[in-house]
Amino acid sequence: MKHYHYIFAGAGLATLMTVYKMAASGAFKNKTILLIDPDTKKANDRTWCFWQKGPCNWDGIVNRKWNTALFADHEKKTDLDLGTYRYNMIRGIDFYDLVFAEFQKHSNIAFVNQKVIDFADSGTHVLVKTDTENYTCNRLFNSIYNAALPQSQTKYPLLQQHFIGWHVKTDKPVFNPAQPSFMDFSIPQQGNTRFMYVLPFSENEALVEYTLFSKELLPQEDYENAIKQYLADLGVTTYTIEDTEQGSIPMTCYPFWKQNTRNVLHIGSAGGWTKASTGYTFRNADKVSGRLVDFLRIEENDLRHFHKKNRFWFYDLLLLDILAEKNHKGAEIFSAMFRSGRAAPIFKFLDEETTLAEDLNVIWQCPKGLFLNALFRRIGNL
């Protein structure tokens, strides 16, 4: 049975970012690292977008970047001023190619295509079982999401950011390649929080996603019909579908960190790394993975000490409380936040980098009655 210093169960975004930074740091060259995932990571299976101020680790693989964006609701369209931020897009395959090229430079890093089926912390080491063999390690980092945990309780709401996207080429120019549609709530809400998300590549080519923040998924044809109607409303009657993508990202403030042990740390969506109020994963995973690498470099002996809960967790919880009870209010809330067109303070707030005074400036823009009612209900149920 092979033993490793570190094993990563699941090779999703959080794992790949963390191991990439471990490798690039040079601080773990004497530590053996194993990544386990049934997927080869050789397909362009997703698109990640994130806002960024200044340079970042991923500038070399940014496929598209925008300095402005559009927000729309049923009343008006608003050009968003991103300030010093830019909105970036990265293709999944480019990210995979980058990180695996780095891994190949390090003989202490291994990757196997197997499926983790179980693991257990004995106190002195962790046993990891896959569908074909077993391993042991000093520390396990698990990114395999266990949906049963948040589903088994009612204290913390669970919603999904679910979507289907079409990469389309149209027969005529209908998109503005200089301006993505960040959120377009002008479409029928049908009792939910629903919006179109458009990443334009040229005047006649874009990724068009129909996205919901809600508890239940839809039949596939509902997403597809919504995209067809959106294109028709733009005057598009002839187009080709170059590629498709779909996903469902958990949005919850469930305390996944309580499942951590001395030698097992849950990461990614399995550890609550997804930004609960928006479903954004890339920016949050980038920040938390960097903090995790710093944590490991100081030879911390107990992984239960890694998690830190802050006031932004509570803000996210209030929003999810509202959307869980009144899902149709999402458009009203986000419209209030972006009505001024000044996106930079909102991005800073969502990045959890604001002062308390700046927090209040953002929160004050939101419908006050909704949040005060949510606050009063939540105070006695923490």
Q: What's the whole-number average pLDDT of the chain?
A: 94
Task: Name the pLDDT band for 382 (thresholds 50, 70, 90).
Answer: low
DSSP states of 322-370 = HHHH-GGGHHHHHHHHHTTSB-HHHHHHHTT---HHHHHHHHTTS-HHH
Tell me what the mean pLDDT of segment 300-313 comes to. 90
The answer to whether residues 164 and 224 touch, using CB atoms and an 8 Å cutoff, is: yes
> 239 falls in which pLDDT band (50, 70, 90)?
very high
- 160: pLDDT strictly greater than 90: yes
Residue 299 has pLDDT above 90, yes or no: no
Going across the sheet that includes 158-170, the strands are 77-81, 68-72, 181-184, 193-202, 205-214, 158-170, 239-252
Q: Which domains does the chain have, with CATH numbers?
A: 2-65+87-152+254-305 (3.50.50.60), 158-251 (3.30.9.10), 311-379 (no CATH)
Cα–Cα nearest to 316, from 373, 269, 363, 259: 363
- Model confidence at 26, pLDDT cuts 50, 70, 90, reads very high
- What pTM was estimated for this model as a whole? 0.93
Percent of the chain with pLDDT over 90: 89
More confident residue, 86 or 308: 86
Q: What is the pLDDT of residue 301?
A: 79
Name which of 326, 158, 155 is nearest 248 in CA terms: 158
368 pLDDT above the threshold of 90: no
Element (H, E) at 185: none
CB proximity list for 326: less than 8 A, separation 6 or greater:
370
Coil, helix or strand at residue 215: coil
Other CB atoms within 10 A of residue 249 CB: 19
Greatest alpha-carbon pair distance for the chain in Å reads 64
**Whole-number Å distance between alpha carbons of 124 and 150:** 29
For residue 23, what are the contacts with CB-CB under 8 A and spacing of at least 6?
102, 103, 105, 106, 109
pLDDT in tens, 316-330: 999 999 999 999 999
CA of 155: how far to CAs of 79, 129, 267, 330, 346, in Å?
A: 38, 32, 22, 21, 27
CB 69 within 8 A of CB 80: yes
pLDDT score for 373: 86
b/e for 311-332, b at 16 or more Cβ within 10 A? Answer: ebeebbbbbbbbbbebbebbbb
